[in-house]
Amino acid sequence: MKLILLVFLPLFFHYNCSPDRGTIASQDNQDSTVIISIAAVGDLMCHSMQYNYARVSKDSFDFNNSFIEVKKFLEETDFTFGNLETVIAGSEKGYSGYPFFNSPDDYSSSLKFAGFDLLSTANNHALDQGEKGVIRTIKQLKQNNLNYNGTFLSENDRDSIRIFDIKGIKIAFLSYTYGTNGIPIPKDKTYLINLIDFNLIENDIRNAKENGADLVLLHYHFGEEYKRDPTEYQKEVIEKSVRFGADIIIGSHPHVLQQIEHYKINNGKLDSGFIAYSLGNFISNQRWRYSDAGAILNFKITKNLVKDSIYLSGIEFIPTWVYKGIINKKREFVILPLEKNYIEKIDSIYSFLSSSDLISIKQAYVDTKEILSGENSKINFR
């Protein structure tokens, strides 16, 4: 179960956005501490091949099987989020994949089924279907009780910083993108999407901390596609964000995994934070090496409720790989977890895998460990 209270600032109201999971920590015990776990994944894409495979009837789709094997990992944490790199603009617009995405409504309901609590909507495809696409996507997410961040319905919505109270630990989530593929944002509605603007980011971080956030988590959509090392621009954004007071930073957009690094927190409660430059594709129809792999990032935060001290207490990755093929006579896309305990016997666990699939899976597992391990001995792989 997750119980997450969401505080919108500066509106100052609370509501229970996920009443079926978790409990609020008691502060009666003078020595009490709470530990929360958070899961993050990379790009949640929906190419035309994906919705064609998921089609049940003319305008009915079932994407649940795509997430069935990783659902338990996404649900077992206290909070789960990812990057929604598509638009849900309605069937009347016509469904489409790259380069101008528009996915079926059923895609959002399957993300709720999978265990997501929050979706970042600030990315280069957010305006693929214009202002109406932004608005309808948000309304569709709200209809499925999914929180959103990065695109907004109004100036007031944009200025209402999301602070989630997770079992007594308050985390602000902020989301920004480098751009919108050249699609202009209406001049009188710049609130529609958060661009990477250092003045805006500095003010948002300051406002979040002044209004009670224990830590600030930033999600950036930036970098160069298919490049496995961060660019100088990414490093510049990170350097300034850390200086502004960011505690944890997670990136998307390259569609491949990039390294993770630790850094010293500037004027924050955490002793040290980290940047995961890119979590790669969680699901897509990009079938080549590195883009068919991703990871579930799990990390834990511990807080002493009496001393008001807080620290990072563990980082763990579960490598993933996207299968595309036939299962029980039906075409499927399925995200497979590559836990180390059974990577060597995965052929017996998933009998539908071909010999070429097994080669790709084992290569993806090795690639993922090499990219994410680096010099960080603190990182574990499940």
The predicted-structure confidence for 286-304, as pLDDT tens digits, reads as follows 999 999 999 999 999 999 8
pLDDT of 21 > 80? The answer is no
Q: With 0-12 CB in 10 A as exposed, 13-18 as middle and 19+ as buried, what is 363?
A: middle
3-state secondary structure 88-150: CCCHHHCCECCCCCECCHHHHHHHHHHCCCEEECCCCCCCCCHHHHHHHHHHHHHHCCCEEEC
Each residue of 309-335: pLDDT tens digit?
Answer: 899 988 999 999 999 999 999 999 999
Q: Is 52 helix (H, G, I), strand (E, B) or coil?
A: helix
pLDDT tier at 2, thresholds 50, 70, 90: low
Closest CA to 43 of 241, 275, 234, 293: 293
Each residue of 91-143: pLDDT tens digit?
Answer: 999 999 999 999 999 999 999 999 999 999 999 999 999 999 999 999 999 99
One-letter amino acid at 145 equals N
Instruction: Residue 137: give its domain's CATH number.
Output: 3.60.21.10
pLDDT of residue 355: 96
pLDDT of residue 9: 58
Most confident listed range (221-235, 264-278, 365-379): 221-235
The fraction of the chain above a pLDDT of 70, given in percent, is 91
pLDDT of residue 32: 87
Average pLDDT, the chain: 91
- Answer yes or no: are the C-beta atoms of 237 and 333 closer than 8 Å: no
Q: Is 247 helix (H, G, I), strand (E, B) or coil?
A: coil
How far is it, in rounded angstroms, from Cα 183 to Cα 272? 38
pTM: 0.92
Mean pLDDT of 153-182: 97
Q: What range does the domain containing 316 cover?
A: 4-381
Mean pLDDT of 246-251: 97
Q: Which residues contact 16 (CB under 8 A, 6 or more apart)?
A: 3, 4, 5
pLDDT of residue 307: 81
The fraction of the chain above a pLDDT of 90, given in percent, is 81
- Residues 151, 154, 160, 166, CA torsion sign: negative
Q: How many domains does the chain have?
A: 1
Measured torsion, CA atoms of residues 304, 204, 37, 302, in degrees rounded to the nearest 10: -20
pLDDT of 1 > 50? The answer is no
3-state secondary structure 267-317: CCCCCEEEEECCEEEEECCCCCCCCCEEEEEEEEEEEECCCCEEEEEEEEE
pLDDT of residue 376: 54
pLDDT tier at 199, thresholds 50, 70, 90: very high
pLDDT of residue 30: 46
Cβ atoms within 10 Å, residue 325: 14
Mean pLDDT of 173-178: 98
